[in-house]
A and B are shown apart, each in its own frame.
Chain A
Amino acid sequence: MLQGHQTWIFPSRPTIIATATVVGPHEAEGPLAEDFDLVHGDLWLGQDSYEKAEKKMLEEACEVAIRKAGLQKQDIQFFLAGDLLSQIISSSFAARTMAVPFLGLYGACSTAMESLALGALIVDSNSGNNVICGAVSHNAAAEKQYRYPTEYGSQKPPTAQWTVTGAGVALLSSGGSGPRVTSATIGRVVDMGLSDPFNMGGAMAPAAADTITAHFRDLGLTHREYDLIATGDLGRVGHKIAADLLQKHDLEIPADKFTDCGILIYREDQPAVLAGGSGCGCAATVTYGHIFNRMKKRELKRVLIVATGALLSPLSYQQKESIPCIAHAVSIEFSQKE
């Protein structure tokens, strides 16, 4: 149900009955290692290419989520997923294995919440009972496609971010118990003319601020209704800019409840991480791993996840185009009685 300009409200409040997260070695060295379901020490996952390793992570995440929910593959009606590789091959190929009706999505790093919002819309409109929503990214596969060969010696500036190797999925259902999706705000594409691919946080911050502003405006809310507001992968640089932008627009969110998945996933002193994590898997694994665990421990009741995405391609960058960015916000609630 549309409310305001760009926000959907889900009166039936679809339930996330299970989540699953699979990550690689770098994420396992980070502070959230305990929150993930499967941790791989091998970046290749025993596959013969990075691309296959990425697909494997998404398949594993789906399997774990289905098993956790006590369901079978055939109980799943729709599978919504996306990734960063050209033609979203990781998601399509995982969907081939799943053999479940599939919608492939591309929203760059915002895909985690794009899929959750659309999944909630499907369940809320009675168009499906069990829907899997997910996103996946792989550091080396993304580096290979967007930047340089992984062993190439190029110095990254302090604003650069590290693509997360990880897959996160949520199983949305019309029944059952678990955190519930209450609303979602679909973002506009915002382009502030920045073109440095080693400063995605700075490029995406206005999109995050725009979507958060729209969410509060459409629903007549303030940050007080939320225990936690997490942006997707702005990193230390972009998150600071987003916080200051919101403050400038009189929507200041207290620092203790405004965080970023890209900051949470790695230790600050982890080598090569620089400004923080990024990628489809960043918001997906941190939300479905860390933040969900905190909700289940009753530490958080209402959270707003604002997944941010930079919609560039290696080609558009080489042709000197600026970076269009987007952010989608999904509100998730876990009340005491459920």
Chain B
Amino acid sequence: MEMYFWAFVVGGLICVIGQILMDVGKYTPAHTISILVVMGAVLSGLELYEPLIDFAGAGATVPITSFGNALVKGALSEAERTGLVGILTGIFEVTSAGISSAIIFAFIASLLFKPKG
């Protein structure tokens, strides 16, 4: 149950960073999300993101920062096995589920639905 509390708090706080970037920094949503992804990648490189996931569960895996983390994680683990080329082959290893499902669901959506305006 404790995990649920921290998922809410940590997830909420990451969104707060995003909101401050949009409202105070006057960034567009696209800029904001891009900044957060890079932040996630940097935290991953400093080995700080995995501990955050252990601590907050979905609070750290659901925000888009986890996408940056997963990209780095995939690249690093593959690089360990196969060397430098592994960075290229491994980048999408972990994130494949997210990107593929988003493409597939969005495509199906375009077959069946029209925007409501």
State the A residues within 8 Å of B (CB): 43-44, 50, 139-140, 149-151, 154-155, 196
**B29 contacts partner chain A, Cβ-Cβ < 8 Å:** yes
B29 touches A150 (CB 8 A): no
Instruction: List residues of chain A with CB within 8 A of the CB of B28.
Output: 154
**Residue among B115, B116, B117 facing the most chain A CB atoms (10 A cut-off):** B117
Closest Cβ of chain B: how far from A150's Cβ, in Å?
5
**Inter-chain contacts of A44 with B (CB < 8 A):** 114, 117
Cβ of B117 and Cβ of A150 under 8 Å apart? yes
State the interface size on chain B (CB cutoff 8 A): 8
- Flag B106-117 by CB within 8 Å of A: 1 or 0 each: 000000001111
Question: Counting chain A CB atoms within 10 Å of each CB, which of B22, B26, B114 scores highest?
Answer: B114
Q: A43-B117, A140-B117, A155-B29 are in contact. List 16 more A-B contacts (CB 8 A).
A: A43-B116, A44-B114, A44-B117, A50-B117, A139-B117, A140-B115, A149-B115, A150-B115, A150-B116, A150-B117, A151-B115, A151-B116, A154-B28, A154-B29, A155-B22, A196-B26
Assembly CA distance A154 to B30 (angstroms): 10
Contacts of B117 in A (CB 8 A): 43-44, 50, 139-140, 150
The closest CB in chain B to the CB of A147 belongs to B28
Tell me if B's interface is mostly helix, strand, loop or mixed: loop
Docked CA distance A319–B67 (Å): 28
Please, which residues of chain B bring their CB within 8 A of the CB of A43? Answer: 116-117
Residue of B nearest to A196 (CB): B26
Q: Which residue of A lies closest to B116 (CB)?
A: A151
Who on chain A is nearest to B19 by CB?
A155
Complex Cα spacing A38 to B41, Å? 54
- Report the Cα distance A149→B114, complex, angstroms: 11
State A50–B22 Cα separation when bound (angstroms).
29
Question: Across the interface, which residues of A come within 8 angstroms of B116, CB to CB?
Answer: 43, 150-151
Kindly report which residue of chain A lies nearest to residue B26, judged by CB atoms.
Answer: A196
| 16 A-B pairs in the complex with CB atoms less than 8 angstroms apart | A43-B116, A43-B117, A44-B114, A44-B117, A139-B117, A140-B115, A140-B117, A149-B115, A150-B115, A150-B116, A150-B117, A151-B116, A154-B28, A155-B22, A155-B29, A196-B26
B19 to chain A, nearest CB (A): 8
**Alpha-carbon distance between A154 and B22 when the two chains are bound, in angstroms:** 10
Shortest C-beta distance, B34 to chain A (Å), equals: 14
Query: A294 → chain B, closest Cβ, in Å?
Result: 30
- Report Cα–Cα, A50/B114, bound state, in Å: 11
Cα distance, A145 to B29, chains bound together (Å): 17
Residue of A nearest to B22 (CB): A155
Chain A residues positioned under 8 Å from B115 (CB to CB): 140, 149-151
Q: In whole Å, how far is A204's beta carbon from the nearest beta carbon of chain B?
A: 20
Q: Which 4 A-B residue pairs are closest in the complex by CB-CB distance?
A: A43-B117, A140-B117, A150-B115, A154-B29
